[in-house]
Amino acid sequence: MSLAKILEEELLSEDLVKISRSEIIDLINNHVKMLIWCARQDDLRDVCREYLNVTRRTLRSLAMIRFIKAIQEGEDGGDESLQILNYLRDSYMRYLYNIPIDPMDRVPVKINVEIRFRDRRFLSDRVYLLPIDLAVRLVISGLAQFIELKDLI
């Protein structure tokens, strides 16, 4: 039985467990680390492909369960959490397959709005090479977008 199917059955059989914001951040960070590792492991491509397939199926199952529960409880089915889950999945898949990575594990991103934090400043509509973890966080939050290989050619 697949991990996604087991997770789906488990979630349907019990009440949903609340997850804290810090736990979600930890999950995202661990997922990003796995994607970075997968991007560098040519000889273990099958392991990484299976990891992405399991992740995709799990996210799809979680989104479907959330959608079903929202309908059962009379809430609006177009919940923002569904959009976030789908966007996370799509961003990670695009990142792994279409985004060039330099030897220092940086990826090109186009900044959507001017950002200032710490001692750094990023101007809108400019392309920057950023560390993968920062780039993924900016893309997930909607502040930036990945520059894919097709956009560079």
- CATH number, position 126: 3.40.5.70
Q: How confident is the model over 10-32, as pLDDT tens digits?
A: 556 655 556 667 777 777 777 77
Q: Are residues 34 and 62 in the same domain?
A: yes
In a shared domain, residues 78 and 147:
no
The verdict on pTM exceeding 0.75 is no
> Does residue 91 sit in the same domain as residue 110?
no
Angstrom distances, CA of residue 121 to CA of 6, 27, 43, 57: 45, 27, 38, 38
**Residues 139, 105 within the same domain:** yes
Q: Among residues 98, 123, 143, which one ends one of the domains?
A: 98
pLDDT at 100: 72
Which one of 98, 117, 142 terminates a domain? 98
Same domain, 68 and 93: yes
Provide the residue range defining the domain that includes 70: 1-98
Count: domains in the chain: 2
Q: Is a pLDDT exceeding 70 seen at residue 96?
A: no
- All residues at 6 or more sequence positions from 53 whose CB lies less than 8 Å from its CB, including other chains: none
Q: Do 107 and 45 reside in the same domain of the chain?
A: no
| Shared-domain flag, residues 46 and 82 | yes
Does 145 lie in the same domain as 87? Answer: no
pLDDT per residue as tens digits for the range 105-133: 788 889 998 888 778 889 999 999 988 77
pLDDT at 23: 73
Q: Are residues 80 and 114 in the same domain?
A: no
| Distance from C-alpha of 35 to C-alpha of 52, rounded to nearest angstrom | 9
7 and 56 part of one domain: yes
Pick the more confident residue, 63 or 33: 33
- Looking at the structure, tell me whether residues 26 and 78 fall in a common domain: yes
Domain boundary among 59, 82, 98: 98
Q: What does pLDDT average to over the chain?
A: 70
Quick one: 135 and 93 in the same domain? no
| Secondary structure (H, E, C), 12-25 | HHCCCCCCCHHHHH
